[in-house]
Amino acid sequence: MSFQVFGIPVSRGVAIGRAVLVASSRLDVAHYFINEADIEAEIARCLRARDEVARELSALKVDLPEDAPHELAALLDVHLMLLHDEALTGATKQWIVDRHYNAEWALSAQLEVLARQFDEMEDDYLRERKADLEQVVERILDALAAESGKTPRGAASVTQRDFAGEDPLLLVAADIAPADMLQFKRSVFHGFITDIGGKTSHTAIVARSLDIPAVVGTREASRLIRQDDWVIIDGDSGLVIVDPSPIVLEEYRFRQRQSELERARLARLRHTPAVTMDGERIELHANIELPTDAEAAVVAGATGVGLFRSEFLFMNRDGELPSEDEQFEAYKAAVEAMRGMPVTIRTVDIGADKPLDRMSANELRHEHVLNPAMGLRAIRWSLAEPSMFRQQLRAIYRASAFGKIRLLIPMVAHLAEVRQILESIKRVQQQLNDAGHAYTKVELGVMIEIPAAAVMLPLLLKHVDFVSIGTNDLIQYTLAIDRADEAVAHLYDPWHPAVLQLIASSIAQARAAGKSVSVCGEMAGDPAFTDLLLSMGLRSFSMHPAQIPSVKQRILRADSAKLAGALPAILASEDPQETARLALSTGGQAAVRTFH
């Protein structure tokens, strides 16, 4: 029976395919297709892992001390029984044969099917056996990982295989951490759905960078959707359709084809300079997570990297921080890939919804703070770990010898922080001089994402070369809204007069001081805000490479002088809806995106 699930649209487009349910704890399990010739070998690999776990459990049972509770032996018997149950092993083999899933993926898929069956049982005792099943599967997965020389967690590979005629796959999960999202850059999934998350959560941001349709904040999707269900993701409206009728399916396939044609048309603007109708040249930079993303930025027509989120170099590493040399090679690769265009590297922004696998001893003391978004994160964390911070600064400065690099500091709110940063830079430069490492001038900038920084911007501008407005956090902190919490997502309003006042004044003050200013938050990549930001005097936008063509098209049709004339009326509006109407009336043709 067909039904619909509603959520928050975070990445545009339409995706149609079969649902793959994955529990958050198993997102780092390898997901890849195997060849027909490898099916028997993959089944054998799965059975070897099962037999290894059986030997371990049997040995544990034999070695139980005489005074051990008899319940413990009974529990081991239950695990052994589940291990050899045909509902697990037989069905897992069927996933491998029918769908060409690798062993780890097949096990995870069958676990989701069985877990749903356990949840629907009326008997409390039987329902609680789901935990035993999960423990058994985790043991098999660990055995598979050990056999392949991988650690049980964080070491999964995700590969792409072109399966002509095979059904596309859509990921359904309770949540996907930003670090896990990086595994999908070359994955088999064409879209994803999560129960939690907000429009500008970092998971959503990475989804847009992958340019795949996504809907978050559905609350119940992972419970309602079943393994292998046919699903439509409408990333434009936030609608998920499960088991669609043939008529609905054909309608959405038509929309898919239209979207592909529109993308092809916009792609022709790649080499067209972003210049407004009245001759204002606009910089369109790209936001990237990894050095390999730089090539996509060049292909999209970016004029530089406006935000390199360096924290993604620190994730999926089992808690091991990247060395100075490893970071240097990553920054160097990004600089060289941009072919002389500037690269703005943001120092590590760890914390809130982007925790490390294993924090330092200092961070562990703050691991369970009530509100991590306002805790020890970003520059606060870097200054609390000075050796780590200086290591990153050395890597960045060393990479500057290979191209133009700008250094961006996140979450600055105090002049004392700026002074500490400048002192760290001075010390790093001396260390590099002593070691004989080459480096060039690196411009220093701060992110304006805390209202205090926007209010005290004249003081900050005396110490820095440029500023970048991070609208995602600026909106969050101005309106006291957790942007990852779908329960208050309707209150996250980029059109709020207070938000617009802070952005407009920040742009004006930076321009008046002769300092460059850009916007690197999600507003920069949304064509609904392009005219508004142009009217405020913004001349540098930074966004995901996939968003550049549509924003460029908007710029080519804009008259910045006429837009600026309407700005006072826009900022004087009391109602966000009225503000949106006024902003769009200055630009002419854009459609309003409602945030309520």
Q: For residues 213 and 147, what is the distance between their CA atoms, to the nearest angstrom?
A: 35
520 flagged as catalytic: yes
User: How far is C-alpha 30 from the geometric centre of its chain's CA atoms?
Assistant: 19
User: How far is C-alpha 554 from the geometric centre of its chain's CA atoms?
Assistant: 26
Which amino acid appears at position 417 of this protein?
A: E
Q: For residues 142 and 266, what is the distance between their CA atoms, to the nearest angstrom?
A: 46
Q: Strands 169-173 and 405-409: what pairing?
A: unpaired
For tokens 């043939």, what's the residue?
A: 246
Report the SS3 class of residue 30: coil
Select which of 202, 285, 496, 544 is catalytic. Answer: 202
Q: For residues 163 and 31, what is the distance between their CA atoms, to the nearest angstrom?
A: 14
Q: Token pair for residue 155?
A: 């070491």
* Contact call for residues 172 and 230 (beta carbons, < 8 A): no
* Contact call for residues 535 and 566 (beta carbons, < 8 A): yes
- 329: number of Cβ within 10 Å: 16
* Contact call for residues 344 and 406 (beta carbons, < 8 A): yes
* Contact call for residues 410 and 347 (beta carbons, < 8 A): yes
For tokens 């060049």, what's the residue?
A: 298
Q: For residues 383 and 450, what is the distance between their CA atoms, to the nearest angstrom?
A: 17
Angle of CA points 206, 254, 244, to nearest 5°:
80
Q: For residues 452 and 448, what is the distance between their CA atoms, to the nearest angstrom?
A: 9
CA distance readout (Å), 332 to 446, 523, 541: 22, 29, 23
Q: Token pair for residue 80?
A: 């052994």
Which amino acid appears at position 171 of this protein?
A: L
* Contact call for residues 84 and 54 (beta carbons, < 8 A): yes
What values do phi and psi take at 215, rounded to 5?
-135, 130
What values do phi and psi take at 595, rounded to 5?
-110, 20
Q: Which residues pair with 469 in a beta bridge?
A: 448, 519
Q: Which residues pair with 288 in a beta bridge?
A: 308
Report the SS3 class of residue 94: helix
* Contact call for residues 458 and 505 (beta carbons, < 8 A): no
Q: Positive or negative CA dihedral for 147, 148, 151, 155? A: negative
DSSP symbols for 167-179: PPEEEEES---HH
Among 526, 516, 416, smallest CA distance to 469 is for 516
Q: Token pair for residue 546?
A: 């996939």
Rg (CA), the chain: 26
Write down the H helix ranges in 84-129: 86-99, 103-119, 124-128
Q: What is the DSSP letter of 238?
A: T
202 flagged as catalytic: yes
Residues carrying an active site annotation: 202, 520
